[in-house]
């Protein structure tokens, strides 16, 4: 199954971001907007993982969560990866988030999962562009967004069901969650 490792913002941060993006979502209906109930921060994308590797991964992620502390994060402003991905920036204890992302990658690598080498860029994806979309005006429109600070308290292993959501978006299913209990 297709898996990734993530942390998720709490309902109040989701509600705040949802209302802050409402007007811009309505103004740019051609973009493929992600759904607030599916918003997450991907720490490691694992691709297709077999059952055996998954069992080992679950053990290792549980240990990683036990070694990492809860972290204070906020969502601020916007940016883009070219014309493909519109995102909001993650600020706050990003060093701790990077540490957790690195640990998730190590956990995956140890059980034989080939994780992409791309450098980790903390973000929450808001929309994906269709061909030739110009995301710059949308980034500008969201530049002033400054979300509340929240605490990420859990690490999640999530399954992605490609094209199983409304309008052929992906649907995400949380398989395992572990509290961050390190200090
Ligand atoms: P994102 O983090 O930029 O939103 C499930 O597909 C999640 O894993 C998405 O949140 C997605 O992008 C992230 N992801 C990272 N690398 C990916 C890749 N190569 N293919 C698909 N999704 C990827």
CATH number of the domain residue 25 falls in: 3.90.1140.10
Distance CA 179, CA 156 (A): 9
* 28 catalytically annotated: no
Which residue range is the domain that position 52 belongs to?
Answer: 2-163+171-179
Ligand 1 touching residue 120 (CB < 6 A): no
**Tens-place pLDDT, residues 123-154:** 999 999 988 889 999 999 999 999 999 999 99
* 40 catalytically annotated: yes
What is the sign, positive or negative, of the torsion defined by CA atoms of 117, 31, 164, 21? positive
**Tens-place pLDDT, residues 25-82:** 999 999 999 999 999 999 999 999 999 999 999 999 999 999 999 999 999 999 999 9
Using alpha carbons, select from 145, 140, 144, 174 the residue that is nearest to residue 160. Answer: 174
> For residue 175, how far is its CA from the centre of ligand 1 (angstroms)?
17
Q: Considering its fold, how many domains does the chain have in total?
A: 1
């Amino acid at each position: 199954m297709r898996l990734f490792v993530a942390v998720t913002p709490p309902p109040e941060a989701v509600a705040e971001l949802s209302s802050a993006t409402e007007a811009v979502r309505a103004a740019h209906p051609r973009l493929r907007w992600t759904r607030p109930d599916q918003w997450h921060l991907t720490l490691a994308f694992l691709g297709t993982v077999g059952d055996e590797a998954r069992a080992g991964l679950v053990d290792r992620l549980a240990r990683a969560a036990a070694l990492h502390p809860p972290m204070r994060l906020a969502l601020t402003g916007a940016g883009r990866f070219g014309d493909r991905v519109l995102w909001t920036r993650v600020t706050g204890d990003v060093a701790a988030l990077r540490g957790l992302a690195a640990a998730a990658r190590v956990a995956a690598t140890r059980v034989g999962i080939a994780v992409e080498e791309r450098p980790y860029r903390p973000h929450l994806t808001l929309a994906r562009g269709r061909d030739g979309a110009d995301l710059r005006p949308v980034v500008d429109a969201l530049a002033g967004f400054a979300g509340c600070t929240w605490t990420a308290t859990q690490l999640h292993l999530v399954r992605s069901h490609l094209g199983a959501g409304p309008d052929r978006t992906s649907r995400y299913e949380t398989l395992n969650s572990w509290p961050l209990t390190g200090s």
